[in-house]
């Protein structure tokens, strides 16, 4: 419609310029850059563009907000060649275009040139220009130190100045520096809180993210969608179901529209907090579903061992006209892995290439190696690793090693560890798994050698850590850690549990996976202080008898803890949901939903 409107004749230059500026402002924000290109062509042909800095401003601003921000870059050179000067309005839009066009040749060099022009022309002191310079140094140029220097030497700053740096530091993994900037801010807006919450989530620190959100609420700041998505992600990390439910209730109570992003975050939270059926209810109620929403639900069902339901949903997604992407196929392959559907996994892997033209990534090969190895097809899994078109990473070797552990294949495990240790010489995963395989196979001397090798290389075993939520508060237990304020009550309860499962169910500790050169009695003590056992004991003394217990653990559940949790669910008549590093386990009446396949 814009293009059909008549432009006044060139009799009054000022009127014409204003009319063109108005037209360009109406083009801003649209994905289609063609109307802007047509107006630009008309301005060049008429000769009007080379006489007006204001028109350059308007064009650069329009391109910066269009689907082709890189089209703004040549206009700056045109402005300079025409003998015109940039204004405080020119540079922020130009720098925005540069930040959105990192792949354009010369973009970084031009950004530095624009900075030099800003200083020379006395424009760097303007707040919007300074903020744009900080944004381009922190993002496009990757110079956080320079961006920080600009902040410290600025004549004026606002919340946007700090927000840019907080986000940049968080993305760079420097969340402590981001927090220092956040605490220093004279005034914060919703973007500031969102940047800090999501910064902690990206760093994997859900506890701090929820702490910032509590501070935000205490100060009476109304959360926006971005903050709530971050809070739900933090709840998903921690397994904080009650706090996640609070967010869901807040959305309903305040009639907040369920966007696809909020809906997907809710689905993910419920799935990762052990309430996949509630996640399904949210998913089914969503009016708009993109491929990420479908994928999140597919992966959630797979994590809970509902492989058939997950694959059915994948088929429904295809039927609905939503084309699966590479991540959706990872979810479907995970469903096959968690339920042992080897033939279906092969079919999906082939259809990804043949039907959708998606080139398998290393994650897809990882799913297939895991699927084959866990089902005893170790030779085929090894063959896939050796023939895959990219170099195997630690996750690939770890998947193959997990199959070796499950099927007690010592020879292949020794082959795997040589490659795995080359990639991760300072991490404990490979050593621990091989040591467990040796112990389970009766080769205790070899297991001790692995432990000694870890000591010699200074490799520390990653400590097991379990979270349990009681009345909306997250309690964390680390293996062997006795610092909890109710530790005496917890240990007393554990001794009761231990006595009951021995007496009523004939429990005998499974010491095969205790990778320690210690005496028999100490082995049993070490097993009794695994983090999930302490968490379960605490939950039993802190909740009503009818309430389910939900545990989130950072590592794979060991065989002894898995067996013990089955017995506790039977003896105490409690449902216990444990989320470990790879999947969910629902323990009920002495059985586990994983059917002892994990």
Report yes or no: 592 and 561 within 8 Å, Cβ to Cβ: no
Q: Which residues contact 450 (CB under 8 A, 6 or more apart)?
A: 431, 434, 435, 438, 515
Cβ atoms of residues 40 and 3 within 8 Å: no
- Separation of CA 584 from chain center: 18
Identify whether the C-beta of residue 278 lies closer than 8 Å to the C-beta of residue 301.
no
Q: Which of 298, 281, 301, 278 is nearest to 290 (CA)?
A: 298
Give the three-state DSSP class for 470: strand
Both structure tokens of 465:
């850590």
Name the β-bridge partners of 467: 476, 552
The pLDDT of residue 373 is 94
pLDDT tens-place values along the chain, 598 residues long: 444 444 455 455 566 667 776 767 776 655 567 888 888 888 888 888 888 888 888 889 888 888 888 888 999 989 999 999 998 989 999 999 999 988 888 889 999 999 999 999 999 989 999 999 999 999 999 899 999 899 998 888 899 999 999 999 998 889 999 999 999 998 899 899 999 999 999 999 999 999 999 999 999 999 999 999 999 999 999 999 999 999 999 999 999 999 999 999 999 999 999 999 999 999 999 999 999 999 999 999 998 989 999 999 999 999 999 999 999 999 999 999 888 899 999 999 999 999 999 999 999 999 999 999 989 999 999 999 999 999 999 999 999 998 998 888 999 999 998 899 889 888 888 888 888 888 878 888 888 888 888 888 888 888 889 999 998 899 999 988 888 999 999 999 999 999 999 999 999 987 666 544 434 334 445 556 789 999 999 999 999 998 999 999 998 888 889 999 999 999 999 999 999 988 899 999 999 988 787 7
Contacts of 466 (CB under 8 A, 6+ apart): 476, 477, 531, 532, 534, 535, 551, 552, 553, 554
Report how far apart the first and last C-alpha atoms of the chain are (Å, whole number): 60
Integer Cα distance of 376 and 396 in angstroms: 16
Element (H, E) at 487: helix 487-505
Model pLDDT, residue 514: 58
**What pLDDT does residue 519 have?**
40
DSSP class of residue 139? T
What average pLDDT does the chain have?
A: 88
The residue ranges of every structural domain in the chain are 361-462, 465-592
Q: Please answer whether residues 183 and 212 qualify as being in contact, where contact means their C-beta atoms are separated by less than 8 angstroms.
A: no
Residues 274, 300: contact at Cβ < 8 Å? no
Whole-angstrom distance, CA of residue 469 vs CA of residue 466: 10
Q: In Å, how far are 395, 397, 409, 556, 588 from 404, measured between CA atoms?
A: 14, 10, 5, 15, 28
Reduced to 3 states (helix: H, G, I; strand: E, B; else coil), residue 468 is strand
Q: What is the DSSP string of 289-341?
A: --HHHHHHHHHHHHHTT-HHHHHHHHHHHHHTTPPP-HHHHHHHHHHHHHHT-
Q: How many CB atoms lie within 10 A of CB 197?
A: 29
Token pair listed for 490: 């917890």
| Radius of gyration for the alpha carbons in the chain, expressed in angstroms and rounded | 29
Residue 119: both structure tokens together: 């200083």
- Say what the pLDDT of residue 350 is: 94
Task: Report domain 361-462's class.
Answer: mainly alpha
The token duo for 557 is 């559940």
In whole angstroms, what is the distance from residue 189 CA to residue 388 CA? 49
For 204-234, give one letter per residue: b (16+ CB within 10 A) or e.
Answer: ebbebbbebbeebeeeebebebbbbbbbbbb
**Residue 376: DSSP 8-state:** T
Nearest to 179 by CA among 143, 226, 215, 222: 215
CA distance 123 to 74: 20
Contacts of 8 (CB under 8 A, 6+ apart): 15, 16, 19
Q: How many CA atoms lie within 13 A of 64 on its CB side?
A: 22
DSSP of 530-556: -HHHHHHHHHHHHS-TTS-EEEEESSP
User: What's the rounded Cα separation, in Å, for the pair 395 and 402?
Assistant: 10
Burial of 334 (0-12, 13-18, 19+ CB in 10 A): buried
| The pLDDT value given to residue 522 | 42
Q: Give, in degrees to the nearest 5, the angle at Cα 555 between 550 and 556.
A: 85
Residue 300 and residue 523: Cα distance in Å, rounded? Answer: 36
pTM over 0.95: no
Sign (positive/negative) of CA torsion 312, 317, 323, 325?
Answer: negative
470 forms beta bridges with 473
Distances, alpha carbon 233 to alpha carbons 210, 247, 341, 364, 573, in Å = 10, 11, 30, 24, 31
Rounded-to-integer distance, Cα 403 and Cα 287, Å: 41
Rounded-to-5 percentages of helix, strand, coil across the chain: 65, 5, 30
CA 421 to chain centre: 26
* Among candidate residues 510, 485, 482, 486, the one with its CA nearest the CA of residue 567: 510
Q: 370: which residues sit within 8 A by CB, 6+ positions away?
A: 337, 399, 402, 403
User: Which of 394, 170, 496 has its CA nearest to residue 181?
Assistant: 170
Q: What is the pLDDT of residue 491?
A: 94
Helices H / strands E in the chain, number of each: 30, 6
In angstroms, the CA 526 to CA 534 distance is 12
pLDDT value, residue 67: 81
| 473-478 β-sheet, strand order | 473-478, 465-470, 549-553, 576-579, 584-588, 591-592
């Amino acid at each position: 419609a814009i293009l059909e409107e008549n432009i006044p004749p060139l009799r009054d230059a000022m009127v014409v310029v204003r009319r063109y500026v108005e037209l360009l402002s109406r083009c801003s924000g649209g994905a289609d850059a063609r109307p802007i290109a047509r107006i630009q062509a008309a301005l060049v042909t008429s000769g009007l563009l080379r006489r007006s800095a204001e028109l350059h401003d308007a064009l650069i601003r329009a391109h910066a907000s269009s689907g082709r921000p890189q089209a703004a870059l040549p206009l700056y050179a045109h402005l300079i060649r025409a003998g015109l000067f940039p204004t405080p309005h020119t540079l922020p839009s130009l720098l925005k275009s540069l930040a959105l066009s990192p792949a354009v040749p010369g973009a970084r060099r031009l950004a530095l040139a624009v900075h030099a022009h800003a200083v020379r022309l006395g424009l760097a002191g303007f707040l919007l220009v300074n903020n744009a310079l900080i944004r381009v140094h922190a993002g496009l140029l990757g110079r956080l130190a320079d961006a920080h220097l600009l902040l410290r030497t600025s004549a004026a700053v606002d919340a946007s100045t700090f927000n840019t740096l907080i986000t940049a530091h968080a993305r760079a993994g420097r969340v402590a520096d981001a927090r220092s900037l956040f605490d220093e801010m004279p005034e914060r807006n919703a973007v500031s809180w969102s940047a800090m919450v999501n910064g902690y989530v990206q760093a994997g620190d859900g506890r701090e993210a929820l702490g910032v959100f509590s501070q935000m609420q205490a100060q009476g700041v109304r959360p926006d969608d971005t903050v709530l998505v971050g809070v739900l992600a933090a709840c998903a990390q921690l397994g904080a179901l009650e706090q996640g439910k609070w967010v869901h209730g807040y959305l309903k109570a305040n009639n907040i529209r369920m966007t696809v992003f909020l809906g997907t975050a809710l689905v993910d939270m419920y799935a990762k907090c052990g309430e996949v059926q509630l996640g399904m209810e949210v998913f089914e109620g969503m009016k708009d579903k993109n491929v990420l929403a479908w994928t999140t639900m597919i992966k959630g069902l797979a994590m809970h061992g509902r492989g058939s339901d997950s694959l059915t949903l994948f088929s429904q997604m295809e039927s609905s006209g939503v084309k699966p992407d590479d991540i959706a196929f990872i979810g479907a392959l995970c469903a096959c892995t968690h339920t042992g559907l080897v033939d279906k996994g092969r079919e999906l892997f082939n259809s990804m290439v043949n039907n959708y033209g998606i080139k398998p990534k290393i994650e897809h090969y990882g799913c297939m190696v895991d699927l084959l190895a866990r089902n005893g097809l170790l030779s085929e899994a090894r063959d896939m690793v050796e023939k895959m078109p990219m170099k195997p990473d630690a996750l690939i070797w770890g998947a193959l090693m997990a199959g070796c552990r499950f099927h007690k294949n010592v020879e292949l495990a020794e082959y795997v560890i040589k490659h795995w240790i080359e990639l991760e010489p300072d991490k404990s995963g490979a050593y621990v798994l091989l040591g467990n395989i040796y112990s389970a196979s009766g080769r205790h001397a070899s297991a001790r050698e692995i432990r000694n090798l870890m000591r010699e290389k200074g490799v520390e075993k990653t400590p097991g850590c379990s979270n349990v939520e009681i009345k909306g508060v997250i309690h964390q237990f680390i293996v062997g850690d006795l610092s909890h304020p109710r530790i005496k009550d917890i240990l007393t309860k554990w001794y009761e549990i231990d006595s009951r499962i021995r007496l009523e169910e004939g429990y005998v500790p499974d010491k095969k996976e205790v990778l320690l050169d210690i005496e028999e009695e100490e082995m049993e003590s070490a097993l009794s202080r695994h983090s999930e056992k302490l968490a379960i004991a605490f939950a039993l003394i802190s909740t009503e008898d009818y309430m389910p217990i939900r545990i989130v653990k950072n590592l794979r559940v060991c065989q002894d803890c898995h067996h013990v949790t089955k017995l506790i669910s039977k003896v105490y008549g409690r449902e216990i949901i444990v989320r470990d590093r790879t999947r969910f386990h629902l323990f009920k009446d002495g059985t586990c939903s994983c059917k002892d396949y994990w």
